[in-house]
Amino acid sequence: MEESSTKKVACSNKDIISDLPQNVIEIILCFLPILDAVRTSVLSKKWRHCWTTIPDIVFDCDFSHYMLWDKLDQYKDKQLMAYKYVRIINKLLLLHSGPILSFSLNFLPMCDAGVIHDYVDQWIPLLLRKGMKRLTLEDHVQDYFTALHHFSSVELSHLRLANACLPYTPAFKGFTYLRKLELIDVYDLDDWILDCPVLEMLTLVICEGILHKNFNAPKLKYFHQLHRDLDLGYSLDGLENVAECALSLRLAEDLITETNTSNVVKAFSTLHKIETFSAGLCFIKYLAAGGSPNRLSKPLPYLKTLDISDIDFTLSSEVSCLLCLIRSAPNLCKLHISATHDAVKENLIEYWVEDPEDCTLEHLEVVTFSYFNGVQAELELVKFLLAHSPLLKTMFIHCSADIKRDVETTKAKEMWNYSTASSKAQIKYLNDPVHIDYFGDWVQEFDLGD
């Protein structure tokens, strides 16, 4: 009995936290917010300095809210509050003893932004000397006029800037070593042609005057753009090597007009190696302008995933454009369609989608259809896909809230009677629509949603 009690006491006194392997401690700290990571220094002697070697330093919105509302709100002077704020970050950076591979800072509209900007320009060289590869600066206060020469470091490979101004500087030639660049609400790049010899991923979100043409990026593989007030002169020239292209572009109402040339032909004549293509907001209207051929003269042999959102199935131009892309992608595997969920005003009763030429979608396995309204053109498309897809496994359908229950039941019975080329094909109904989102909450942030 005494021996057993002794073992229990010894077990209860054992410091399990201190006995954790160093690599496990590092993993735990990497998942904690920076302030919580610092607080672990009081757990034991072994933990005291562990936080000083975490490679990713993130001062996010939660950190800023906590510091500015809970700790610094007593200082009514915004400039003084800003100095106290940067002093805390300064202290944390000076105590950090290891390499810093990633640094992220979100500053909020509660203190003098100019003070923070001055310190950011001092922190960046320090961070680069510590081996920083990824930098995120998101200013929610005012435009950040940044010193561009900081971003040509051989170490920096990933840059994300939000609400910044990049004034033209003749001495700056480009982002020489960047592989990934994200610009959100950045402007004043009209005069730039930036050399980005190794850039692989470019994301542009509401960047006035900034298009992919501002960048000379021969190795670009992923291009994502969210834009508003697009004109019909928009072009995808120069994206010959892009494998993934996601475009959510809104056109001004007075610019949605017919053109003399087919935009879908013009756009895809340059996307020779495209594997994934996504069109959101009004971009299907841009592609449909000028009419669409039955299929493109040059097929899209690499295209495996096609996502077309906000398509209006009461407009023959948009339906024809969608069919043109489907027929032109012989190796298509996944198809996502999201119909516009505005109330249906009219119906294309006599619209048929049969191809006069033989069309077999030999690799199509999954189709998702969101905001299905039950109009004739939608039914004909479902019939076409079922009849021409020998490997189709599942067609997911989400019905719009505007469709009446009895109509939904009738249409479902009709679709169940369609002939199928695949013995494994199933139609499954979803309660919620499927959203393929490349831009996070930026559509709502800039009030571009429906």
Give mean pLDDT in consecutive 10-residue pieces for the chain, a chain of 450 residues: 52 67 85 88 85 90 74 70 86 91 82 79 89 87 66 87 78 85 82 86 88 89 88 80 92 61 90 94 88 92 96 91 95 95 56 64 96 90 94 94 85 90 93 85 62
Q: What is the pLDDT of residue 2?
A: 53
Q: Which residues contact 175 (CB under 8 A, 6 or more apart)?
A: 151, 152, 159, 181, 194, 195, 196, 199
Is position 316 within any domain? Answer: yes
User: How do strand 394-399 and strand 426-430 relate by DSSP bridges?
Assistant: parallel
Distance between CA 266 and CA 181 in Å, rounded?
Answer: 26
Q: Which residues contact 330 (CB under 8 A, 6 or more apart)?
A: 299, 300, 301, 361, 362, 363
Contact 26, 50 (CB under 8 A): yes
Is position 87 within any domain? Answer: no
Q: What is the pLDDT of residue 41?
A: 86
Distance between CA 85 and CA 104 in Å, rounded?
Answer: 15
Angle formed by the axes of helices 376-387 and 316-327, nearest 10°: 10
Q: What is the pLDDT of residue 252?
A: 63
Query: How is residue 234 written in tokens?
Result: 């928009």
- Residue located via tokens 């904690």: 32
C-alpha closest to that of 342 among 294, 418, 267, 400 = 400
Is position 308 within any domain? Answer: yes
Is position 59 within any domain? Answer: no
CA dihedral 349, 351, 354, 356 (to 10 degrees): 130
Q: What is the pLDDT of residue 319?
A: 92
Is position 209 within any domain? Answer: no
Q: Which helix (H) or strand (E) holds 230?
A: strand 222-230
The model's pTM: 0.86
- Residue located via tokens 């259809």: 369
Distance between CA 302 and CA 254 in Å, rounded?
Answer: 35
Distances (CA, A) of 101 to 57, 92, 134, 158, 198: 8, 15, 6, 10, 19
Distance between CA 101 and CA 56 in Å, rounded?
Answer: 6
Is position 142 within any domain? Answer: no
The number of domains in the chain is 1
Domain containing 325: what range? 244-450
Q: What is the pLDDT of residue 344?
A: 55
**How many angstroms from the chain centroid is the CA of residue 199?**
17
Is position 405 within any domain? Answer: yes
Is position 413 within any domain? Answer: yes
Q: What is the pLDDT of residue 9?
A: 47
Distance between CA 387 and CA 422 in Å, rounded?
Answer: 8
What separation, in Å, do the N-terminal and C-terminal C-alpha atoms of the chain show?
73
